[in-house]
Amino acid sequence: MNKSSKKLIIIGGGFAGLNLVMALKNKPGIEVTLVDKNNYNFFPPLLYQVATGFLEPSSISYPFRRFLRGKHNVHFRMAELLKIVPQENKVILSNGELFYDYLVLATGAESNFFGMENVEREALPMKTLSDALYMRNTLLNRLEEATRISDIDRIKKLATIVVAGGGPTGVELSGMFAEMRTKIVQKDYPELAGRQVGKIYLVDGGNAVLGPMSEKSQKYSKESLEKLGVIIKLGVTVKDFKDDTVFLSDGTVIPTTTLIWAAGVTARAFEGIPAEAYGRGKRITVDAFNKINGYSNIYALGDTCFQTTDPPFPNGHPQLAQVAIQQAKNLGRNLVRPVESWTPFRYNDKGTMAIIGRNKAVADLQKPKLHFNGFIAWMIWLFIHVMSLLNFRNRLRTLYNWVGAYFTMDQYFRMIIKAEDRKPSKNG
């Protein structure tokens, strides 16, 4: 490392972190260290397809060190951030300390359970690759259990799924489960054929699914899900989950062993950043250049930050991948310029989309302002998500798996794979 170079530490290797790396790769005068608790990047919008067995984990993930080859000013440290010491320009990690000239926080968001301890303990979240694999194992194990018993009430509990949250993740999961129930479960589990094998509920506190999208998208999505057999309950929230029962705010109780949590997110608070620096949802307040208010050399990007200086978004930007990507690219351009020529961040909203099922999706494009649904929107969704994957290998494998699933109306990765503790042998 060149001693005269500025040291920049990026905490988090998601959309924001990797795009900042790409903006600064091989730039003279700056040395970058990417810190992440995992040794791989993954693509969050397709986590639910790993959870439902349509994709293998390696289709949406890629090792950091392989990605960083040839980027001579970028280094990687697998570690977790424990504390920031701003007065010393230092971060304390789970395996040591690093000093910085610039620090960038890009750790994304995590599930927000709104203080409901039972829900946090028992529900299945969808934020990490580990969550997706755990969900897949759990759902498959419960179907296996359902084939071994004769208690109809227990079978219904095991096969009923409640999805909390009517955003893109909740809609996509609900549609996928509905199609699996009719096209796959009845074939793979003949013991359950002819039985009432449970229901799929989608619950949201708003008055529509896909709340931030257009009314056309909301209407089409709701009607499509209902045609697939999903029971949609709007204007209600989950209040508790215990004794294999989901309790809703309107007094409804749903017997089930499975509550999938896609109802809210919160950013992460960092030791060393004072409480007054945080805004709504624990997002750190930043200025127009993504610099944390009150600090001269600490920045926050994406879901981690709360920025109100962009005129069309006075209440902050939506927590979307495109925001993180664009903020990272803007900061990368600024960091290699003289400060007086820095450009404030302005979000270019390209639109929003969600997939519902086979040949069913919605897309709201902003420039030009267009709405698509059905097969055309489904094709747009496929193209955008394939091209957004990190490299050609991920794109090819994902496309191959999708083509196979489309023509066979089946998927291939319904394996229960879990780590087992190695027990010492009798010989030690």
pLDDT tens-digit series, residues 132-171:
999 999 999 999 999 999 899 999 999 999 999 999 999 9
DSSP bridge pairs for 266: 110
The reported pLDDT for the residue numbered 154 is 93
Cα dihedral 213, 215, 221, 222 in deg (nearest 10): 130
* pTM of this structure: 0.90
Domain spans in the chain, listed from the N-terminal domain onward:
6-37+79-111+266-341, 117-263
The reported pLDDT for the residue numbered 345 is 98
**Cα distance from N-terminal residue to C-terminal residue, the chain:** 45
Can you name the CATH fold of 117-263?
FAD/NAD(P)-binding domain (3.50.50)
The reported pLDDT for the residue numbered 29 is 93
- Residue identified by tokens 């504390």 is 83
User: What is the architecture of the domain spanning 6-37+79-111+266-341?
Assistant: 3-Layer(bba) Sandwich (3.50)
By CB atoms closer than 10 A (0-12, 13-18, 19+), residue 246 is buried
Q: Alpha helix locations (H) across 38-106? A: 47-51, 64-67
Binning pLDDT at 50, 70 and 90, where does residue 305 land? very high
Whether the domain at 6-37+79-111+266-341 and the domain at 117-263 fall into the same CATH topology:
yes
The per-residue pLDDT for range 101-127, each reduced to its tens digit, is 999 999 999 999 999 999 999 999 999
Contact (CB, 8 A) for 60 and 48: no
